[in-house]
Each structure stands twice: as structure tokens, then as C-alpha cells.
A and B are shown apart, each in its own frame.
Chain A
């Protein structure tokens, strides 16, 4: 956590969110799709490079599955195109695209054994005999399903079916593998294991993965870049650190991780990277290079782990008085809910250290809430109710 905000400087320096077009495998340009009158995707653009792990993150119904279906070829876009290795594949049927999908329902063929399921795509490409066998076995080894090769899918557990579905897709060595919430049906433990295995597999294969999820932890821990979607549009594309530490808007900030919001007004600018902001009865300095005008309503964003509880904060550090509503010990961390005198309720999360006197606070006790300077993010307030 100590290295946290160094990122801001890096981002403004050379913007790692942009990928050079030359090593791009999949290129989605200005894709739009509507069902009936309902806009499901609006002007989606995304470059995916060789071997990259991308997650599509967003709430239910924001169009994630539809985007994958457009890339796989099950739907035709109303506008925009999809390029694979520089070739426009928008009008090709799914069977002609070098893209494979791991379906949310797995969609294994129930009348074929595990091995026959995995062999299906290769047989269609003309593989026969030994070569076919070797490739199928290799794929089954990769997902550790070799022993169950002769079983029928109906006799497999959810996790095992999942592995077969992955093997069946990757055995075709697609340029891009699409995975639609592949882990959502698994229990928490199995899910973690599969996350690690998927990551390993992706590294080994060097294939670009696009994985759909609505689990933000999954998105942050697995991907090279996260695409955050907000009803039919892309809200932000960035590395996990970028979307977590420098969210593009309040929606992204709220969607990924916990967030504390401090409503305020811009007073003025102190040089290129610093703003003066009025928060409640206090004037604070906040780091920001965004074009915000004096008088503009803003929100100061602080993650729970950015907040510090103390009684004797040095005068220079900004703080707000509040009283403790709730404390919960979570093993490695201690979570505290504080009702600020100024109104809002905030959550702080600190690493547990039994020698630290701060950890002796009781419920109802009054504390000063401060934060690590420079870790705050200032965003224009989009919500008119504030």
C-alpha cells in the first residue's frame, strides 16, 4: 500500500493504458448494438494485444455478454467493426473466426465423452489419428483432466466441466479466447483455485483472454487491463491499479472497491498538480491535474485504507472529527465505521497491529479522521443530489 499513489505520476508521464497498435491481435472499433429500441452497446472501442489478459467488468445487463457475442460472431453489430490480426471479421460467421468461447453454461456436448468434446474442433479442422490424440491429451493435461477423458459431461462436477470447456476451446489455439463468467458457478474456494489456474494457463499459452466478470476482485487480481462497463458504454480502460487508484469517474470509483466520498467545492488551484478544495468547514489541499474550475462541485475520494484514525493529528494534516459507530476485527485488518460530525458515515480499514494505541478505540469514542496526503482523488460531482 505504501507505493500506492506513485502511480499517478507514472500515468501522467507515459500513459501505460494505451497499447501500441502494432502488436494488437483484436481490435474493436466503434461497435454499437441495439435490441429492439434498447441500446445494449454504444460506441465500444478496444485494442487487445497478443497474450494480454483483459477482463470486462460491469453490473448485470450492461452488455458484457453481448460484446463477447459480437466478437465471437453470434450477433451482427449495428455499427462498427471487429478486426482480428488487422483483418475485418465483422461479416464472418462464428465458425470462420479464429476466436473461441468458454460459455457460462459450459455448453459441453452431453452425447460425447470428455475426449470427444475436446476433439470436436480439431476433427473439423481435419486432424485425425495420432496427431489428434496427442493434441487432445495435451489439452486435457493442461487442465488436469486426462484421467476423466472417457467420462460423459453429465457425470462431472461443475469445476471439472469448467476445465473441459476450457480445454475444448484452447485446443483450437484461437487468437483470442473469450470467457463469459466462467467462474461464477463455482464455490468460493474452487473459484480462487481456478483463477490461479486460468492465469497460469493463459501465461503458458500466450493467448489473449477476454474474461467477463462482475466480480471486481476477480477483475483486479487476474487481468493486465480491466474494461469497466457502465450501461452499454466503456467507463474506463486501464490496469487494475489505474482503475482502482485513479478511477475515471464516480461510477468506476463506486463499482470497484469500497470508497468514501467527501463532497466539496473547488476554491482554486495551487500550481499544476494541486487544488484547494473546501470540504465541510475545512480548506484542504488535494492533488489533482484535472481541469476543475473554482466554484465547481467535486467529490474527494478516499479508499478505506487511505483513512487514518488518530487523536493527535498534527495541525498541518487535515482531519475531521467523528465518533466511532462500529469496529470489526477481520484478522489482518481492523475495520471501523465512523460517523463524521459533518454528516457522512465513512469506513476506515487499517492493518491490525496490537501495539498501536489507535486500536484501543471503543464504539462511541471520538476520533480525528485524517488521510495519507496525496492519496486522495478529486472528481467532478456527477450526482446533482449532493
Chain B
């Protein structure tokens, strides 16, 4: 009886918390996205679809959205190509080695990612470490413009997001039954065929999880784009930040946020669907 009451209390607390800090803000965001801009305050009546119309019809905003998607996709792809072999080999190492590698992978998390982005600036700047090194070795005569390029943004995003790709991939590949690889060998498959027909299909859950964990947050990482890419609007995150803080167009900022949340929801739903299909086959229990 007492346990039951405690349980009810805990569940109630969690629900209340989620309601207060999850559901209510999202509802507020949703509501404000359908309101009108107010130059003096935050927003005002009447309800309107103006923000959404602006978002989809104004070529400028559409371009930011597309560019943002492209950049996020590119980041995801690079993280996947680098993270997959990394996770694979880590999973094949001995227990001790694996632990060391994972700890090394985690250590950067102890430093705020904003601080780490500033660190990248110091490396890439005109008088940064990289340029100094290249000048000193005589490979170049004058400093290269590395900062405030798309490449710099991509590099920053890659650096910040790589662990989010590696960890789910590693968790998946570590569980992969190596005997299946041997079975494929035995049946006549070469390394490439084994990778394509056995390892990749079996690690799909890890691949999906890693891609979502990189793709979705990347679009919101406005400070990476601002600090490394200059004042241009590269990511949806920049757009949102600008609408709320500079342009003081809260409805448009809200609408943009709603779109981002929607995208995230669709991707998570897709992921859940795929996982359900795999479970139904008995592939995962």
C-alpha cells in the first residue's frame, strides 16, 4: 500500500515535471507561431498563418532551411564514414583497450562545446595554430583563410558531433556476433560482401540511431555556424536565434522551431517504426 502510494507520487512528479517543462513550453511555442509579430512586445493577436507563409514562400528562408538540411546531412555523412570504421575497430579491441578509447572519446564532453568551438577558432584563425605551423614548415608563404568558411563550419560540426555517431554505432557493433562474419566467410563471401550483406544490415539500428543523433542537433548548433562561419545564416538554429534575439519576430522564430521539432519527431517515428519491424522478425529481442 505504502509502496503503491510512493509509486503514484513518483509518477505524478515525473508527469508534472514533463508537463511543466515539456508540454507547456511546446504548446506556448506552437501558439505563438500562429500569432502576429509585435514590434513592442513579444507577439499579439490575431491568429495568423503569416509566419508559416513567410517560412515557406520567402526564398531567403527556404534557402536557409535547405542549406541547413544540406549541411546537417553532410555532417552526418562525414561522421558516419569516419565513425563507422572507428566504432568497428574499437569493438574488435580487447576489453581494456576499448575502455581506454571510450574514455578518451568522453573526455571532451567535460568541456562545454561552446568553449571547444572557440578553441577551434584559435586553431583555424589567420594567426591561429594551423597557419603558424604551415608557415613555419614553409608549406605556405602567407596565412590561409580558414576561418569563416563553410569548410570550417563543417569541421567544427564534425568535431563536435562525431562522438554522438560513434557511441550508438559502437554499442551496436560491440554486440555483433562475430560468428556470423565467420559463417559468411565459410559460405564463400569475401570481405566486401560480408560488409555489405551481413555487417551493414545487422548494424542498421546503430547507423540509424547515430545518424539521428547527429543530424537533428546539428541543425540547431547556431553558435558553431556563427563562430566559425561568420555572420551568415547557415543553420536553422541561426535563423531561430536571430528571430528571437535580433529581429524580435517571435512568431517566426516559433514557427521555425516548430518545424525543427516536427522534423525531429518524424525522424524519431521513422526510427521507432524500423526498430519495430526488426523486433517483429525476431532479429532483436
Give the B-binding residues of A (Cβ under 8 A). 72-74, 93-95, 99-101, 103, 105, 107-111, 120-121, 124-125, 152-155, 168-169, 172
Contact = CB atoms under 8 A, between A and B. Distances in A.
A172 B198 CA distance: 18
Contacts of A124: 187-189, 193
B202 interface: yes
Contacts of A95: 185-190
A120 B177 CA distance: 18
Contact of A107 (B179, B193, B197, B281): B179
Contacts of B283: 110-111, 152, 154
Interface string B192-218: 010001100110000000000000000
20 contacts: A95-B187, A95-B188, A95-B190, A101-B183, A103-B182, A107-B180, A109-B180, A110-B180, A111-B201, A111-B283, A124-B187, A124-B193, A125-B188, A152-B281, A152-B282, A153-B282, A155-B282, A169-B186, A172-B187, A172-B188
Given A152-B282, A154-B283, A155-B281, A109 B198 contact: yes
A94 B193 CA distance: 14
Interface string B162-194: 000000000000000101101111111110010
A124 B188 CA distance: 7
A369 B187 CA distance: 56
Interface bracket on B? 20 to 34
A107 B186 CA distance: 11
Given A109-B198, A152-B282, A154-B285, A93 B185 contact: yes
A72 B201 CA distance: 25
A100 B177 CA distance: 19
Contacts of B177: 105, 107
A105 B201 CA distance: 20
A169 B187 CA distance: 7
Contacts of B183: 101, 103, 107-109
A93 to B, nearest CB: 7
Contact of B282 (A103, A125, A154, A169): A154
Most buried by A among B179, B183, B198, B281: B183
Contact of B187 (A74, A120, A155): A120
A98 B81 CA distance: 35
A105 B179 CA distance: 8
A101 B187 CA distance: 8
A101 B281 contact: no
B14 to A, nearest CB: 34
Interface of B: 177, 179-180, 182-190, 193, 197-198, 201-202, 278, 281-283, 285
A94 B179 CA distance: 13
A73 B188 CA distance: 12
Nearest to A110: B283
Given A101-B183, A103-B179, 19 more contacts: A72-B186, A74-B182, A93-B185, A94-B185, A94-B186, A95-B186, A95-B188, A95-B190, A101-B186, A103-B183, A107-B180, A111-B201, A111-B281, A120-B184, A154-B283, A168-B187, A169-B186, A172-B187, A172-B188
B187 A121 contact: yes
Nearest to A95: B188
A188 to B, nearest CB: 26
Most buried by B among A95, A99, A100, A108: A95
Most buried by B among A73, A107, A125: A107
A100 B186 contact: yes
Closest 5 CB pairs between A and B?
A154-B282, A121-B187, A107-B183, A152-B281, A94-B185
Contacts of A94: 182, 185-186
Most buried by A among B187, B190, B282: B187
Nearest to A101: B186
Contacts of A74: 182, 185
B62 to A, nearest CB: 39
Nearest to B281: A152
A14 to B, nearest CB: 38
Contacts of A121: 187-188
B185 A110 contact: no
A110 B193 contact: no
A10 B239 CA distance: 94
Contacts of B285: 154
A73 B187 CA distance: 12
Given A103-B179, A105-B179, A124-B193, A111 B188 contact: no
Contacts of A72: 186
A338 to B, nearest CB: 49
